[in-house]
Amino acid sequence: MDAVRSGLSVVQERRVLSLFLHSRLHLLYKASVHGYTGEQFHHRCDNQGPTLIAAYNKAGFVFGAYTAKNYNQTEELVVDAKAFLYSMSAGEEYLPPLRVASIDGQYGFFDGTEGPDFGALVFLQEEQAKIASDPGTGFNFSPKEMHGDDLDLTEFEVYRVEDLGGLLAKPWRSVQWTAERRQQLKRGIQAYQPEIDSVSKARVLLLGPVGAGKSSFFNSMNSVFRGNMTSQAICGTAGRSLTTQFRTYSIRAGKGGEEIPLILCDTMGLEEKEETGLDIEDLVNIYKGHIQDRYQFNSSTPIEPDAAGYKKKVTLKDRIHCVVYVFNTANFSILPDNMLKKIRAIRKKTNQLGIPQLLLMTKVDEACPLVAENLSNVYRSTYIQKKAQDLSAAVGIPLNCVMPVKNYSQELELEQNVDILLMSAVQQMLNYTDSFFENQVKEEGEEVAACHVQRVSLTNSLGL
């Protein structure tokens, strides 16, 4: 699934967001990708709540309209007292955008089947990269100030305007953001010992869509224990998975130090189409320990038992002890239905195999500006709490199994709060791994008990 990226620069986005209080923009529709048609606009933007249009032209203007109401193709005029037009021109980066309210404070837009029609500005005119400009119809403005008299578009985008909701009075989880807590987590992870003697390390598999941050999570954890930034796992921003092999990564405590009792396993990213990304049959073989490190996935067919890279003899230490789903918090809500369907199928198979599961919410700082300002706001952010609830409901993971994290991306030095979030997530992985081992002990005990009952029954039947 190729990423669809915003055309707004960082400065432009900040200027637009200055028109709102505690909000963020979520890209829904990009005409150069999806098509300059009313059908595609409505397909992606109907019933999305408050939205903002961003139109671009060669004159260097970014301009558009905001409405707090839904597009529904009712063929009626929608009254919206909160609707406004806006404009930003090149060379005015430090000025607030031009904001134009409706003439009578009531006009909104005509809710037709074509492009968005705000009277004075009609977008996607005649299903082309053009606008119609008619100041005085609902809104009044100077064409020169609004769009520089340039009616041809170089791009057209629509964003959902999401209310961040500010900060909660009380955090929805309690975290100690202290150096002592950081050291406590680090020591606890290093001292971890699996309950079963034959297993020396927890084996955790990371699963998620392309670009969710699986490889970055390993690099971040490796950096935490190494004491400096590392980049062992390949990661980036490509639309297709950069990970094409099954990889198992160990983490050392310091350069040349001992390995911590954790193996993080990375795979191809999940993709929307059935024939792309990780195959569910390969996934089951990973769960059962049959796929060796560095096995190169074949996109056309799953691995066969006689293939190179297939491990026939496996023990409990080769199996996956915990599965962690990884999602980008900033773009989760635009995951296609086919992707969510694939993830639910994986959840069902994982449940059948009795493997405990967690969910990582990555890039929480990109999702919420209040968290970007101070990472310790992560459990006070109303927006992050809502995203955690949405992810929990969509994937079917209990809310107490959802862990927000921030991976290292642009930093050059380690940060205490980033480390605490990352290691808190790993601590939960180890706790859930313990649950897996406890189930194995219980199952083995039940098998022994069943065998004993059978022997007693056989003895009694023989009269011995």
Domain boundary among the residues 133, 163, 193 is at 163
pLDDT value at 273 more than 90: no
pLDDT band at 276 (very low <50, low <70, confident <90, very high): low
- Domain shared by 150 and 194, yes or no: no
Q: Find the mean pLDDT for residues 168-185.
A: 96
Number of Cβ within a 10 Å radius of residue 320: 22
- Domain shared by 155 and 282, yes or no: no
Handedness of CA 164, 169, 172, 174 (dihedral sign): positive
Domain boundary among the residues 107, 129, 163 is at 163
Q: Mean pLDDT for the chain?
A: 89
* Inter-helix orientation angle 214-226/416-462, to 10°: 110
- Domain shared by 337 and 209, yes or no: yes
Q: Quote the number of domains for the chain.
A: 2
| pLDDT tens track for 370-417 | 999 999 999 999 999 999 999 999 999 999 999 999 999 889 999 999
| pLDDT tens track for 343-354 | 899 999 999 999
- Domain shared by 70 and 187, yes or no: no
- Domain shared by 63 and 208, yes or no: no
pLDDT value at 442 more than 80: no
3 state DSSP class of 83? coil
31 located within any domain: yes
Q: Tell me the CA end-to-end span of the chain in Å, nearest whole number.
A: 67
169 located within any domain: no
pLDDT value at 52 more than 70: yes
Q: Find the mean pLDDT for residues 259-280.
A: 81
The helix, strand and coil proportions of the chain, stated in percent and rounded to the nearest 5, come to: 35, 25, 45
- Domain shared by 121 and 191, yes or no: no
Number of Cβ within a 10 Å radius of residue 446: 10
359 located within any domain: yes
168 located within any domain: no
326 located within any domain: yes
- Domain shared by 149 and 218, yes or no: no
Structural domain span for residue 262? 179-449
pLDDT value at 287 more than 90: yes
- Domain shared by 368 and 239, yes or no: yes
56 located within any domain: yes
- Domain shared by 392 and 433, yes or no: yes
Buried b (16+ CB within 10 A) or exposed e, 33-44: ebebebebbbeb
Residue linked to tokens 């869509």: 209
Domain boundary among the residues 111, 131, 163 is at 163
Residue 414 has φ and ψ, to the nearest 5°, of -70, 150
- Domain shared by 326 and 386, yes or no: yes
Burial class (CB within 10 angstroms; exposed 0-12, middle 13-18, buried 19+) of 441:
exposed
- Domain shared by 231 and 87, yes or no: no
Q: What's the pLDDT score for residue 279?
A: 78
Burial class (CB within 10 angstroms; exposed 0-12, middle 13-18, buried 19+) of 274:
exposed
| pLDDT tens track for 208-240 | 888 889 989 999 999 999 999 988 766 554 444
Q: Which of 399, 386, 389 is nearest to 162 (CA)?
A: 386
| pLDDT tens track for 109-157 | 999 999 999 999 999 999 999 999 999 999 999 999 999 999 999 999 9
CATH of the domain at 412: 3.40.50.300
- Domain shared by 146 and 198, yes or no: no
201 located within any domain: yes
